[in-house]
Amino acid sequence: MKPSIPKGTRDFLPSEVYKRNFIFETIRSVFKKYGYQPIETPTMENLTTLTGKYGEEGDKLLFKVLNNDMFMEMAMAIDKLDKIGKEKVIIEMTSRGIPQAAAEGVLDLLNIETLPDLEKAFQNAPTGLKGIEELKEFHAYLDLTSTSNKIKFDISLARGLNYYTGCIFEVEADTEAYPNLRMGSIAGGGRYDNLTEVFGLSGVSGVGVSFGAERIYDVMEEEKLFPEGVEKDLDVLLIAFDDASHKYAFKAVQQLRDSNIIADLYPAPTKMKKQMKYANARQVPFVILIGSNEMESGVLTLKNMTTGEQFNLTIEAIIEKLFTR
Amino acid sequence: MKPSIPKGTRDFLPSEVYKRNFIFETIRSVFKKYGYQPIETPTMENLTTLTGKYGEEGDKLLFKVLNNDMFMEMAMAIDKLDKIGKEKVIIEMTSRGIPQAAAEGVLDLLNIETLPDLEKAFQNAPTGLKGIEELKEFHAYLDLTSTSNKIKFDISLARGLNYYTGCIFEVEADTEAYPNLRMGSIAGGGRYDNLTEVFGLSGVSGVGVSFGAERIYDVMEEEKLFPEGVEKDLDVLLIAFDDASHKYAFKAVQQLRDSNIIADLYPAPTKMKKQMKYANARQVPFVILIGSNEMESGVLTLKNMTTGEQFNLTIEAIIEKLFTR
């Protein structure tokens, strides 16, 4: 039998799990501080939910349910601006039934970079001016925040899923601080006022954001942003040389754990060389060596695996030393 | 469209998620202290892995691959002892080709409760005596532990999945401490030396344990073992009365969050009655009321929602108060 995992899934090994957990724990703690409540939903979706409503192709169906007008047709075409360029977007817009002049006019608007310029362009368009009022209100709140993120207004931003009814946003890694990054957006979302209506619950609005876990991981890895010790695994490994000292060490390893030191005992008193090889593979900073002499005297050998230094100490003194380093 | 989730999955609401996370976090922290490394694997399995090898019926196939002998036939029958009783187990064993006398002899052995008695019964059986030696060695290590769990030897224990090759174990909730509990096992596992061989990797032994998350949850809920505050949600809700004080409050809520207080601002300055109703629904211990007077003076109204007491304090004094309570 060939080992395999389901299509679309993958395994994560320890060093990845430590780093992924750091990312998720950071996100979770910020959400918690902001008073969000957690729910857990299945990681799978009914196929009908996705294909019938808002799968990659299905979003075409969804926006027809929600908002069957030309704005959505345009938004979907504009979403591709980065990828296919201005000319092809105009072709796509006209093929969706939007007049050539309107398509070009919209793309001209997308070159506008500030709210005042946009206000000028919309001076005869009451709906446009109302939108600008809302954006000003929104930015008035943003201006009150002390966030270290740089917030940039971008009228050309569009997103693939068209259930949004208000602001949309994307988060990009800070390419000023990290000029070598070419990562695109690492999170994105927006406001939707009618989404739950599709499932029979109307009048519940929301703002949602999804994080690109893999991209955040890659950015942090590339720029060495994970804190030191995030992969910290094992504080100390105990190595015993015979059956009697193995039992002695079994008791000692518990004393270490009771002091919240991450400790393990090599499972059998095999050859020292084999046990030290494992200690090196686990990159453990300290080992404790226990033979019959150590067992009788109660004075154990603590070895610093980085410097090679050895210390003869009782288990209590070792706990003191490992705890206060 | 009727909302639904995939068969076999469920949603967890906030109060459940808080408690489930408490359970998982406790398990995780203990494993970490013991030097275990985390991996993450897909929550789904290939159907062929399950049905071909060790699904509910498939385990019959698996033990034939691993160990095609009478012992496994017996173990599978014995596993049902609790459910179907002695007579029916003997009938099942004989139907699996085990002679009646042998079946009865095995069930007699299962009445033995101590290792010395078992040793007597096995005095002419070298394999049995070797097994007892191994059990003694195992218990010699267990005797060195300071665990508060009561460890009970039970020769009649058997488990449904037959890839185990050594000790098996089950964990039961402490019915002495909690006499009303009738929960059965809340965790179980054992040693398997050959399991990975099925997937092409031989010589890797392991000891595995699986936890019954739902059962642990039920035990803890029933006996009120979750620590106080596990569902703690929101330290304080800010309530503003008009647009200007809402912006003022938006800044104040950030100051609270910067001090690691879990704080939220009602999203709009609607009627006080509506906002207080929400505060009650969230069971928030404190609200901060901000109107034009409070905004101008910088002295806000802090209300203790339990006692009804009100305090007039600056935001800095509130942070001091909420932090040091």
Residues from chain A that touch B142, judged by Cβ atoms under 8 A, are none
Could B145 and A254 be called an inter-chain contact, meaning their C-beta atoms sit closer than 8 Å? Answer: yes
How far B256 CA sits from the closest chain A CA (Å)? Answer: 9
Residues from chain B that touch A50, judged by Cβ atoms under 8 A, are none
Could B247 and A144 be called an inter-chain contact, meaning their C-beta atoms sit closer than 8 Å? Answer: yes
Contacts of B4 (CB under 8 A, 6+ apart): A46
Tell whether A265 is covered by a domain: yes
Range of the domain at B208: 164-226
Order the strands of the A286-290 sheet from edge to edge.
Answer: A263-265, A236-240, A286-290, A300-304, A310-313
Q: A286: closest CA among A256, A243, A248, A250? A: A256
Tell whether A182 is covered by a domain: yes
* Residue from B18, B20, B37 whose CB has the most chain A CBs within 10 Å, to mutate: B37
Whether ipTM tops 0.90, in short, is: no
Could A46 and B18 be called an inter-chain contact, meaning their C-beta atoms sit closer than 8 Å? Answer: no
- A39 in contact with B, Cβ within 8 Å: yes
- Regarding whether B283 and B242 lie in a shared domain, the answer is yes
Q: Does A30 or B41 have the greater pLDDT score?
A: A30
The pLDDT assigned to A55 comes to 44
Q: Does B246 or A96 have the greater pLDDT score?
A: B246
- For residues B130 and B127, give the distance between their C-alpha atoms in angstroms, rounded to a whole number: 5
- For residues B314 and B241, give the distance between their C-alpha atoms in angstroms, rounded to a whole number: 18
- Regarding whether A317 and A240 lie in a shared domain, the answer is yes
B243: domain CATH number is: 3.40.50.800
Place of tokens 């601080």: A177
Contacts of A192 (CB under 8 A, 6+ apart): A163, A164, A165, A166, A205, A206, A207, A208
Backbone angles phi, psi at B21, to 5 degrees: -60, -35
- A267 in contact with B, Cβ within 8 Å: no
Instruction: Please state the pTM of the whole predicted model.
Output: 0.78
Tell whether A139 is covered by a domain: no
Tell whether A49 is covered by a domain: no
Residue A10 known to bind ligand: no
Tell whether A314 is covered by a domain: yes
The pLDDT assigned to A199 comes to 78
State pLDDT tens for residues B42-68: 766 665 654 544 444 444 444 343 444
- Band of residue B108 on the pLDDT scale cut at 50, 70, 90: confident
* Chain A residues 94-113 with a CB less than 8 Å from chain B: none
- For residues B52 and A96, give the distance between their C-alpha atoms in angstroms, rounded to a whole number: 50
Residues from chain A that touch B264, judged by Cβ atoms under 8 A, are 34-35
Tell whether B194 is covered by a domain: yes
- Regarding whether A241 and A222 lie in a shared domain, the answer is no
Contact B194, B66 (CB under 8 A): yes
Residues from chain B that touch A239, judged by Cβ atoms under 8 A, are none
- Mapped onto helix, strand or coil, the DSSP state of residue A186 is strand
The pLDDT assigned to A63 comes to 38
State pLDDT tens for residues B253-286: 999 999 999 999 999 999 999 999 999 999 999 9
- Regarding whether A318 and A253 lie in a shared domain, the answer is yes
Residue where one domain finishes, among candidates A226, A246, A266: A226
Residue where one domain finishes, among candidates B226, B245, B261: B226
- Regarding whether B318 and B279 lie in a shared domain, the answer is yes
Q: How many CB pairs under 8 A join A and B?
A: 133
Q: For residue B275, what are its two tokens?
A: 């906002």
- Regarding whether B175 and B204 lie in a shared domain, the answer is yes
The pLDDT assigned to B186 comes to 93
What domain count does chain A have? 2
Could B18 and A32 be called an inter-chain contact, meaning their C-beta atoms sit closer than 8 Å? Answer: no
Could B34 and A199 be called an inter-chain contact, meaning their C-beta atoms sit closer than 8 Å? Answer: no
- For residues B315 and B249, give the distance between their C-alpha atoms in angstroms, rounded to a whole number: 10
- B126 in contact with A, Cβ within 8 Å: no
- Regarding whether A257 and A215 lie in a shared domain, the answer is no
- B33 in contact with A, Cβ within 8 Å: yes
Q: What is the pLDDT along chain A (325 residues), one digit of tens a residue?
A: 566 777 777 788 888 999 999 999 999 999 999 999 998 887 666 656 545 444 444 444 443 434 446 777 777 788 788 788 888 888 988 888 888 888 888 888 888 888 899 999 999 999 999 999 999 999 999 989 877 788 888 888 877 666 788 889 999 988 888 888 877 789 999 998 888 887 788 888 889 999 999 999 999 999 999 998 888 789 999 999 999 999 999 999 999 999 999 999 999 999 999 999 999 999 999 999 999 999 999 999 999 999 999 999 999 999 998 876 5
Q: What share of chain A is helix, strand, coil (3-state, %, to 5)?
A: 45, 15, 40
Tell whether A47 is covered by a domain: no
- Regarding whether A267 and A202 lie in a shared domain, the answer is no
Residue where one domain finishes, among candidates A226, A250, A266: A226
How far A138 CA sits from the closest chain B CA (Å)? Answer: 11
B76, amino acid identity: M
Tell whether A114 is covered by a domain: no
- Regarding whether B181 and B261 lie in a shared domain, the answer is no
Q: Compute the C-alpha angle A29/A32/A33, nearest 5°.
A: 90
* Chain B residues 151-180 with a CB less than 8 Å from chain A: none
* Chain B residues 177-206 with a CB less than 8 Å from chain A: 198-201
- A46 in contact with B, Cβ within 8 Å: yes
- Regarding whether A316 and A242 lie in a shared domain, the answer is yes
Residue B1 has pLDDT above 60, yes or no: no
